[in-house]
Structure 1
Amino acid sequence: MSDLAPLLTEPHLLLAVDGVTVDFDGFKALNGFSLTIDRGSLRVVIGPNGAGKSTLCDTIIGRVRATDGRVVFKGEDITQLPEFEIVRRGICRKFQTPGVLPSLSVLDNLLIAAQKDRRWWRSFGVAEAVEEREKVDEILETIGLADRSHILAGELAHGEKQWLEIGMVVATDADLLLLDEPTAGMGPAETSRTADLIRGLQGRHAVLVIDHDMSFIEQLNGRVTVMHMGQFLKEGSVAEIRKDPEVAAVYLGRAAE
């Protein structure tokens, strides 16, 4: 395990994945992988299929258990915590396939996500708190769905469903947002709009984006971490990653000039 101890007390540090290995019956989906994310920052993780990107998200959120190493969030070791406890501490994940509630309106999807009091009776007939409604109205503007707030979520176009789910993740007020391929199935115009949306989240939230679309990644203009075979390969700006010959060989699929 790498030694990130000197960093863990730094006020700017939000998340540290410290030498994490995930072993599935001899197959190491993650192999001594390390990553740090600062508060309010934007990080993009790329890599070929099978590189371990989704396993990384699963491990951070507690769906998969590390067999070695640790995940530290806000200075606390969360490696062995159940997923619901990790979510309570301020990490929320959006999956590749939209997980909206199709029979509820756009507004109701966001109001449910924004509820701070999640006791079961809170969701039935009790007026939402004023502050939650104000927050939801702001999010509707941010995701561009203010004029469609009373449409059933199931009637939205695919890209709109992706934006709604990003809005639902934002509504939780999580400090760290995990976005797994947020532009999957989108055209160029929707992809560009999604990049604008995600860039606008920086500062209020730290955002970890998993993706493979280099055009989208360039528009995000965040720091890029490259994974290969469950390991850390390279890290840098988009320009640095694009011209790196090792990255080109294992990920971008072209020879270095």
Structure 2
Amino acid sequence: MTAKQIYIDFYKPIWDEVQMHYNEVQHMKDLEVITDIDLDTILESLKKYLGGDGFYITIEEFDSICFINVVTYFHQDIKELEEYVTTLSKDTLITKENEIEHAIYLSVDSISDQEDIDRLVTLLKEEGIEIEFELRRKSAFERGAGDFHEDLILSVLSAITGKLTEAVFDKVQNKFSARRNLRLHTIDIERLKEYVTHKTSINVNDLKVRSIKTLEAGLTEVILTSRYKDVVVTADQSYKHIDFNVVQKTQTLI
């Protein structure tokens, strides 16, 4: 694995008087590390140091950066976990130049294991479709019963986008899974990033694509994310009408 810049933030909920519900979370600690350790390994280590129960973890992995948010329900002591994170550090981060423009994206939700991901990539390659991972978003919830799933956004290399016709897309969908819905999106993400940067104080280099959804009436919803903020952007096909809403991640973690 190529080394990535990892940002880890810990939060705790502010409970009501009977400890049944909470409507906000409080930021406890932030850590930063550069590491080439596999993110699945880091996830399992986080779960171990948190005691195996009473937490919610999201990992948003991009090309050279990763956001990890941890909500601890039982106010666990994270001192040993902090010490573990410091052992991961590497000295240098090599960032790759992204000279390829992407306009076509594939998204799929709730993939349960690496075998499914490998199978999807293989099916696309069989049709001559080369992809890059824009996002791997892992979520682990442990409170009584456990739950884990992974969401993907894949970008199609611009040199071969013409190969991804509707017929090819349907063929891959049918072979992959009848239960998981692949979604095909044609959208200028960089244009939306520049628009948000122009309208807000968020640096364009800090914005990563976290979600793409097709809405009714020809609208597309894109969630752009940074370390502490999500920006929900809605655009029409001509980009003449663009709306956005900035949401603090403390709200999305509730």
TM-score w.r.t. the length of structure 1 is: 0.28
Q: More helix by proportion, 1 or 2?
A: 1
Q: More strand by proportion, 1 or 2?
A: 2
Higher RCO, 1 or 2 (CA under 8 Å, sep at least 6)?
A: 1
